[in-house]
């Protein structure tokens, strides 16, 4: 490859909003349930039914728009996107084309290449479709409208990204913002966040964009990164061979690591968009906007700065803690109880992360209470238990949210501070290990560690290690 190529990427990200009810009717958005259990005349497209906009959807969309520095469209409208498919009961989707709720925003991302801003073209509100079930029947497909009418926002970026790293950084930042807002849980695997990648390549330095393709079916950050690499290589190969890139929609198969053409621009549908006559324009007044603004929670960037200042913890710690809203909340709550931010942070960053990794869990899945973590820290600080015991107790807290005070009491794990008892045990350990005693006396400092270990073992780990050390040294000198 002689020429240098630049990849140009824009994203369309669909996010399922965390409302209790659907966007245009009162049906539950709860996941699961018998097929068509969460349906009514509106979300099954029964004749004569009419949509009524869920106010919370507007508030979430505005909140996301504000957090991504968008202009809020104060007079916005819904439009109908017309296309036939059985998962879409009305054969049109209520969406926004002409006056989307948010426009002209952008967020700052950071990669090894440095900081840059990725522009957000628009954010619009729309309804999700139902689900077709093909598998179990030979002669027909069935349709489940439980997801029909679940609220979505679509966040359309500018073609500002140039690499898979930038795309991941952008998605990660979006995910964090939206999770912090509580507007969605943004789980790619479960489909509550979906990203379509628009990608083109051009010779380095070229001004004009190349022909782009749109890639769908990307359900993890890893798949997105692989798909970008794959598509970049495919397009460059075409150009190198003197062939043209065809504007088309492609479906990524992450197992085969290859994308397949779904439909080309020629057979792209004409959606015949027009203003939705069943919904009046949404007017976002000054007062309402102010109310939504006042409810905006602290976002990650602000939280990061505050943690460094307020809790005096290193940048590194603050980053890991704020990587998940849930983790950050836990940190603050536990710190509020025990007043030891650095210690809370250590437990979360080291032991918690280790156990999460072992159990293949996400920080959002942490289920223990901040009170129990705070209690554990107090027990350790007071010398009631030593650090070895503390780690053991923490595993129970992590798994079952055990109350550490009760647990330590019940299992008799309190550190022994009784010197007399300790001296007896040490005497016994020395008698049983004469070689080590001699080694130490001959200047082998290492032998002390062995003897401390044997003593701790004999004490079932409950001894105060400092005290053991001190008494053992005295005894060996004698």
Partner 1 sequence: MELMSLTALELGKKIKGGEVTAIDAVRDALSAIEAKEETLHSYITVDREGALKKAEKTQRGIEAGELTGPLAGVPAAVKDNICTEGLRTTCASKILCNFVPTYTAEAVLNLEKAGVVVLGKTNMDEFAMGSTTETSAFGLTRNPWNPEHVPGGSSGGSCGAVAAGECSFALGSDTGGSIRQPSAFCGVTGLKPTYGTVSRYGLIAYGSSLDQIGPVARDVADCAAILETIASYDRKDSTSVNRAGVSLWGEEGSSGGTGADGYDFTSALTEDVKGLRVGIPRDYLGEGLDKEVERAVFKAAKLLENRGALVETFDLSLVSYAIPAYYVIASAEASSNLARFDGVKYGYRAEEYEGLHNMYKKSRSQGFGPEVKRRIMLGSFVLSSGYYDAYYLKALKTKALIKKAFDRAFAAYDVILAPAAPTTAPRIGESLTDPLKMYLGDIYTISVNLAGLPGISVPCGLDSRGLPIGLQILGDCFQEKKMLRAAYALEKAQAAEGETADAQLENSISPDKPRKDFRMQSSRKCFQYMGLGRRDAVLE
Nearest to 372 by CA among 346, 342, 395, 389: 395
Concatenating the DSSP letter of every residue in 298-351 gives P-HHHHHHHHHHHH---HHHHHHHHTSHHHHHHHHHHHHHH--HHHHHHIIIII
**Toward partner 1, which CB reaches closer, 127 or 160?**
127
**Toward partner 1, which CB reaches closer, 84 or 478?**
84
Give CA–CA dist 257/54, Å, rounded.
40
Alpha-carbon torsion angle 224, 227, 232, 237, nearest 10: 180
Query: Which pair of tokens denotes residue 247?
Result: 């504007």
Shortest gap between Cβ of 166 and partner 1 (angstroms)?
33
Give CA–CA dist 468/451, Å, rounded.
9
Query: 3-class DSSP state for residue 356?
Result: helix
Among 44-52, 120-128, 328-336, 366-374, which window interacts with partner 1 (CB under 8 A)?
A: 44-52
Query: Which pair of tokens denotes residue 153?
Result: 């926002």
The answer to whether the beta carbons of residues 200 and 211 sit under 8 Å apart is yes
Shortest gap between Cβ of 278 and partner 1 (angstroms)?
5
Among 42-50, 109-117, 234-242, 357-365, which window interacts with partner 1 (CB under 8 A)?
A: 42-50
Among 280, 297, 339, 453, binds partner 1 (CB under 8 A): 280
Q: Is 44 in the site for partner 1 (CB under 8 A)?
A: yes
Residues 112-171 that bind partner 1 (CB under 8 A): 143
Size of the site for partner 1 (CB under 8 A): 38
Residues 285-344 that bind partner 1 (CB under 8 A): 285, 287-288, 291
Q: Is 80 in the site for partner 1 (CB under 8 A)?
A: yes
Residues 84-103 that bind partner 1 (CB under 8 A): 84, 86, 89-92
**Residue partners of 202: CB distance under 8 A and separation at least 6:** 5, 6, 8, 208, 209, 210
Give CA–CA dist 408/411, Å, rounded.
5
Among 71, 278, 365, 418, binds partner 1 (CB under 8 A): 278
Among 30, 37, 52, 113, binds partner 1 (CB under 8 A): 52
Q: Is 265 in the site for partner 1 (CB under 8 A)?
A: no
Q: Is 282 in the site for partner 1 (CB under 8 A)?
A: yes
Among 47, 420, 434, 443, binds partner 1 (CB under 8 A): 47
**Residue partners of 257: CB distance under 8 A and separation at least 6:** 226, 230
**Toward partner 1, which CB reaches closer, 65 or 89?**
89
Alpha-carbon torsion angle 221, 224, 229, 230, nearest 10: 140
Shortest gap between Cβ of 52 and partner 1 (angstroms)?
5
H helix or E strand, kind and range, residue 141: none
Query: 3-class DSSP state for residue 377?
Result: helix
Q: Is 443 in the site for partner 1 (CB under 8 A)?
A: no
Among 222-230, 267-275, 298-306, 315-323, which window interacts with partner 1 (CB under 8 A)?
A: 267-275
Shortest gap between Cβ of 157 and partner 1 (angstroms)?
24
Query: Which pair of tokens denotes residue 270?
Result: 């004409």
Q: Which residues bind partner 1 (CB under 8 A)?
A: 41, 44-53, 55, 58, 80, 82, 84, 86, 89-92, 143, 270, 272-274, 277-285, 287-288, 291
């Amino acid at each position: 490859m002689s020429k240098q190529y630049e990849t140009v990427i824009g994203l369309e990200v669909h996010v399922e909003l965390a409302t209790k009810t659907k966007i245009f009717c009162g049906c539950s958005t709860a996941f699961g349930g018998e097929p068509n259990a969460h349906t009514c005349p509106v979300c099954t497209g029964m004749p004569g039914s009419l949509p009524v906009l869920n106010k919370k959807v507007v508030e979430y969309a505005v909140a996301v728009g504000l957090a991504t520095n968008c202009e809020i469209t104060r007079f916005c409208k819904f439009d109908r996107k017309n296309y036939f498919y059985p998962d879409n009961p009305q054969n049109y989707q209520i969406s926004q084309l002409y006056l989307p709720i948010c426009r002209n925003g952008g967020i700052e991302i950071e990669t090894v290449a440095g900081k840059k801003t990725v522009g957000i073209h628009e954010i619009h509100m729309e309804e999700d479709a139902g689900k077709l079930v093909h598998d179990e029947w030979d002669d027909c497909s069935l349709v489940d409208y439980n997801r029909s009418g679940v609220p979505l926002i679509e966040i359309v970026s500018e073609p500002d990204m140039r690499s898979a790293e930038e795309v991941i950084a952008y998605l990660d930042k979006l995910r964090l913002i939206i999770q912090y807002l509580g507007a969605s849980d943004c789980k790619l695997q479960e489909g509550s966040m979906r990203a379509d990648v628009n990608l083109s390549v051009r010779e380095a330095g070229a001004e004009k964009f190349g022909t782009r393709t749109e890639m769908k079916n990307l359900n993890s950050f890893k798949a997105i990164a692989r798909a970008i690499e794959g598509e970049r290589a495919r397009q460059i190969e075409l150009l190198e061979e003197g062939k043209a890139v065809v504007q088309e929609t492609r479906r990524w198969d992450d197992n085969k690591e290859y994308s397949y053409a779904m439909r080309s621009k020629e057979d792209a549908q004409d959606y015949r968009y027009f203003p939705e006559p069943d919904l009046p324009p949404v007017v976002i007044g000054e007062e309402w906007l102010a109310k939504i603004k006042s409810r905006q929670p602290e976002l990650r960037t602000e939280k990061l700065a505050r943690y460094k200042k307020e809790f005096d913890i290193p940048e590194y710690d603050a980053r890991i803690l704020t990587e998940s809203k849930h983790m950050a909340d836990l940190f603050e709550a536990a710190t509020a109880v025990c007043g030891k931010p650095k210690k809370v942070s250590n437990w979360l960053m080291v032991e918690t992360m280790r156990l999460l990794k072992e159990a293949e869990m996400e920080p959002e899945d942490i289920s223990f209470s901040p009170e129990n973590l705070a209690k554990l820290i107090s027990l350790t600080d007071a010398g009631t238990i030593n650090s070895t015991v503390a780690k053991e107790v923490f595993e129970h807290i992590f798994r079952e949210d055990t109350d550490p005070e009760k647990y330590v009491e019940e299992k008799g794990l309190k550190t022994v501070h009784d010197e007399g008892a300790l001296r007896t045990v040490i005497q016994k350990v020395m008698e049983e290990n004469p070689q080590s005693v001699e080694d130490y006396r001959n200047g082998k400092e290492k032998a002390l560690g062995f003897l401390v270990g044997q003593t701790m073992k004999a004490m079932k780990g409950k001894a105060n290690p400092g005290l053991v050390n001190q008494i053992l040294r005295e005894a060996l000198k004698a």
